[in-house]
Amino acid sequence: MATKRIDVSALCLLSKLNIGDGDKARIEEELCEFADFAAVLDAFAAHDMSAEDGGAAELRADTLKNEASELSGSYVTVPLTVKEARDDQND
């Protein structure tokens, strides 16, 4: 994934945090540094479909009936995009 700037103000809105202006630039830099590093994961894009099919859920439990799929819904609680968060703020 191409590295780009990260909008920390919008992320703060999404996660209900207030970061001082002085800290925003530093945190944006830190997040971008990590995002650059994590770009190594692009190499695994070809595995996307198999992961979507439950690969990650299987890792969470060896139970015969995979209970983790019930839990997985709670991991993603941020349905909004950064753009939508920004729009909300402007509203």
Partner 1 sequence: MIKTIDRFSVGALSELLIKKEISAVELTEYCFEKIASRNSDIGAFITLDEEGALAAAREADRKRASGESASGLLGIPFAVKDNLCVLGMRTTCGSHMLENYVSPYTATAVGRLIDSGAVVIGKTNMDEFGMGNATNTSALGLTRNPHDTRCTAGGSSGGSAAAVAAGLVPFALGSDTGGSVRQPAAFCGAVGFKPSYGAVSRYGLLAYASSLDTVGVIGADVESCAATYREMSGYDALDRTSKDYDKNSLPIDVSKLKIGVPYALLDGVSKDVKGAVNDIIDRARSLGASIVPVELPSLDACLGSYYVIASSEASSNLGRYDGVRYGYRPESYDSVEELFVRSRTEGFGEEVKRRILLGTYCLTGEARDGYYKHALAARKYITEKMCEIFSSVDFVFMPVSTDIAPKFEDLIKKTPTERYLDDCYCVISNLSGIPSLSLPVGRGRGGMPVGVQIMADKGFDARLLALGSALERGSET
DSSP string, 38-90: HGGGGGGGGGHHHIIIIIHHHHH---SS-THHHHHTTT----S-HHHHHHHHH
DSSP code, position 16: T
Verify binding: residue 48, partner 1, rule CB under 8 A. Answer: yes
Verify binding: residue 89, partner 1, rule CB under 8 A. Answer: no
Verify binding: residue 25, partner 1, rule CB under 8 A. Answer: no
From the CB of residue 10, how many other CB atoms can be counted at a distance below 10 Å?
A: 19
From 5, 21, 25, 27, residue interacting with partner 1 (rule: CB under 8 A): 27
Residues in contact with partner 1 by the rule CB under 8 A: 1, 6, 8, 11-12, 14-19, 27, 30-31, 33-35, 37-48, 50-52, 55-56, 59-63, 67-68, 70-71, 74-85
